[in-house]
Amino acid sequence: MNTADQYVKAIYLLQEMEDGPAATGALADMLDVSPASANEMIGKLEDRGLANHEKYKGVQLTDEGIVRARDALQTYCIIERFLANVLDVESFREEARELEPVIDGTVAERLDTIIDRNSDCPDCFDAETDACEYLEIPEAEEKPAD
């Protein structure tokens, strides 16, 4: 997964939460980047046919962008569940975000054989709570809702 994949995944999640175009400011906040960096990458995603951006209205993924975002989200879920459920890493979310850009499809597929991913992935991921519903973590460790 690369930086573009992280952006399309974030846009996808924001579109789901906002039920419409993703605001560029919200995208920058979600990815902890400057609005200028977010706008630069949005331009690159448009050039690649993955997104459409309308000034003051936000960014929406194309059909190709949605497919890529769902693949990226599935890979993220695999990493997150592997760290939390198999390795019992306490800070699994932070670690998953660090590993996300460097885990390729082959590694994700191999990790997937270990976690026994549910067939409804990535629809199991709840953008509001930033969690896969199949994570096996004690209630006290769950991220509090914002």
Q: pLDDT for 52-80, tens place per residue?
A: 999 889 999 999 999 999 988 888 888 88
Reported confidence tier of residue 9, pLDDT bands at 50, 70, 90: very high
Q: Residue 146's CB: how many other CB atoms inside 10 A?
A: 6
Mean pLDDT of the chain: 85
* pLDDT level of residue 139 (50, 70, 90 thresholds): low
Check residue 138 and give its pLDDT.
54
Is 103 part of a structural domain of the chain? yes
| The total number of structural domains that make up the chain | 2
Residues 10 and 60 reside in one and the same domain: yes
Please report, as a single letter, which amino acid is at residue 146: D
4-22 in b/e form (b: 16+ CB < 10 A) is bbbbbbbbbbbbbeeeebb
Same domain, 83 and 33: no
Its domain, for residue 20, covers 4-66
CA pair distance 57, 79, nearest whole angstrom = 33
Between CA 33 and CA 29 the distance in angstroms is 7
What value does the mean pLDDT take over residues 35-63?
Answer: 94
Boundary residue ending a domain (25, 47, 66): 66
The pTM score is 0.80
Q: Is the pLDDT of residue 140 over 50?
A: no
Residue 88 and residue 126 in one domain: yes
